[in-house]
């Protein structure tokens, strides 16, 4: 076990200010990372539509019977540690407020459809005129150039068009795809990387830039070896017997699959990387039939029969008993864990689900960050902002407005 490094800590991104129009998960997930490491992320929402451009604002799960824009569980999860202000960009005063915020920010982030921020009067040229070294990061499904730039996407559509849906499934069945927006999470990760890269560049050179992130393109980078098999060898992914994504060709492993266990919808994943893994698994199974699969070539050539035989061994057992037996033997193995099992009963995620305080919802558990940094730990304590929750604080501190000024702006419909 490695020693824990105990030292004084700091916020890695302290002093970075982000004017954040991001919503849903693909955008909000990116600025969530920045906020957890100390950046000041100011989420800007439209008071007229009560911030409902972000469809998660009022959508469940809910902590209790209360409903409405302050009670969306997903919204709270994706917007921890951020500040929230409202600005009505239909008004001149609203445009002035945003201009002042941009002037004092390092970065403007958004994941609108193409052209939306431009139509509000804040395209890149305008942002640059306000703040010459601004980092502007836009994240949309197909990016800001190309024949499909006006096409609209959600996570499942990004996954469909980029090949991710196709490559998840079993043979002779429809695509299984992803049972969640993998590319909203992952698009958010790429957006966070892009922001950090552009901030590093700015810090070293003084130069800002506009980063055009297309979620579909980020997704398409996630199939490297399969794409090279196409461009180098001319072998398509759409071919007989494929996809079969519970198996593995690169490297070839057998057995390699998800097998039934005792109980309702109970499964265990087992992977034998080589003959040594297979010998360990064979010993654990302790049955004569294993002798017929001693060589990897034989296992790979007869995977259907092998999978049926392994299923015969797992089917009568508890999934965690199989996991314990095989991990002790040194074979890669894991129960397919339910949310409850991996969140509340798994020692390896203990302490990784922080509880935040949300002004309306109260105490709520959220996703943590699976990274420990010895000098600059993350912090997730505050829930997502309620609509305009930090108007007084942000407009007061950054723009020097008094409580009366802010009340007046609200009266005028500017915020």
Closer Cβ to other proteins, 53 or 178, answer by number: 178
The nearest distance, CB 128 to other proteins, in angstroms, is: 12
CB of 401 to other proteins, least distance (A): 30
Token pair 């941009």: residue: 102
Distant-in-sequence, close-in-space partners of 377: CB < 8 Å, separation ≥ 6: 9
| Smallest separation (angstroms) from other proteins to the CB of 86 | 23
Least distance from other proteins to the Cβ atom of residue 149, Å: 8
Beta bridge partners of 206: none
Q: Which of 118, 229 has the CB closer to other proteins?
A: 229
Shortest distance, CB of residue 119 to other proteins, whole angstroms? 16
CB of 129 to other proteins, least distance (A): 17
**Per-residue CA distances from 185 to 43, 90, 312, 380 (Å):** 19, 31, 37, 18
**206 Cα distance to chain centroid:** 30
Question: Exposed/middle/buried for 285, CB within 10 Å: 0-12, 13-18, 19+?
Answer: middle
Taking the least distance from each CB to other proteins, the nearer of 47 and 156 is 156
* 168 vs 408, beta carbon nearer other proteins: 168
Task: For residue 183, give the nearest of 142, 151, 144 by alpha carbon.
Answer: 142
Which of 153/290 has CB closer to other proteins? 153
Helix (H, G, I), strand (E, B) or coil at 40: strand
Q: Quick check: 380 and 36 in contact, CB under 8 A?
A: yes
The closest of 405, 410, 415 to 88, measured between CA atoms, is: 415
Based on CB atoms, which residue is closest to other proteins, 166 or 395?
166
Contact 75, 57 (CB under 8 A): yes
> Measured in Å, how far apart are the chain's first and last C-alpha atoms?
53
The least CB distance from residue 324 to other proteins, in Å, is 10
**Smaller CB distance to other proteins: residue 104 or 209?**
209
3-class DSSP state of 367: coil
């Amino acid at each position: 076990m490695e020693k824990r490094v105990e030292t004084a800590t700091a916020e890695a991104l302290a002093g970075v200010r982000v004017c954040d129009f991001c919503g849903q998960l693909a955008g909000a997930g990116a600025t969530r990372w920045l906020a957890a490491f100390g950046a000041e992320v100011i989420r800007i929402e439209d008071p007229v539509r009560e911030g409902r451009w972000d469809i998660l604002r009022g959508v469940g799960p809910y902590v209790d019977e209360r409903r409405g824009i302050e009670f969306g569980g997903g919204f709270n999860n994706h917007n921890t540690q951020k500040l929230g202000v409202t600005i009505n960009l239909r008004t001149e005063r609203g445009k002035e407020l945003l201009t002042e915020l941009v002037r004092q920010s390092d970065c403007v982030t958004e994941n609108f459809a193409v052209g939306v921020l431009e139509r509000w009067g804040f395209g890149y040229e305008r942002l640059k005129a306000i703040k010459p070294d601004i980092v502007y990061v836009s994240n949309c499904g197909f990016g800001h150039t190309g024949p499909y730039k006006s096409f609209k996407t959600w996570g499942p559509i990004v996954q469909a068009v980029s090949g991710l849906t196709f490559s998840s499934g079993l043979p002779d069945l429809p695509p299984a795809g992803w049972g969640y927006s993998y590319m909203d999470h992952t698009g958010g990760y790429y957006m966070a990387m892009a922001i950090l890269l552009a901030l590093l560049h700015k810090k070293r050179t003084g130069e800002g830039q506009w980063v055009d992130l297309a979620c579909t393109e980020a997704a398409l980078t996630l199939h490297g070896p399969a794409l090279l098999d196409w461009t180098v060898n001319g072998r398509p992914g759409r071919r007989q017997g494929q996809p079969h994504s519970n198996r593995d060709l690169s490297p070839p492993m057998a057995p390699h699959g998800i097998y039934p266990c005792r109980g309702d919808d109970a499964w265990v994943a087992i992977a034998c990387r080589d003959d040594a893994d297979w010998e360990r698994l064979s010993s654990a199974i302790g049955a004569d039939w294993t002798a017929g699969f001693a060589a990897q070539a034989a296992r790979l050539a007869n995977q259907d029969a092998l999978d049926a035989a392994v299923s015969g061994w797992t089917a009568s057992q508890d999934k965690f008993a199989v996991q314990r037996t095989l991990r002790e033997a040194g074979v890669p193995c894991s129960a397919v864990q339910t949310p409850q099992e991996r969140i509340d009963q798994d020692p390896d995620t203990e302490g990784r689900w922080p509880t935040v305080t949300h002004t309306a919802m109260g105490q709520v558990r959220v996703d943590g960050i699976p990274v420990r940094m010895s000098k600059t730990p993350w912090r997730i304590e505050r829930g997502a902002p309620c609509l305009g929750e930090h108007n007084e604080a942000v407009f007061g501190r950054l723009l020097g407005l008094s409580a009366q000024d802010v009340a007046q702006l609200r009266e005028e419909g500017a915020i």
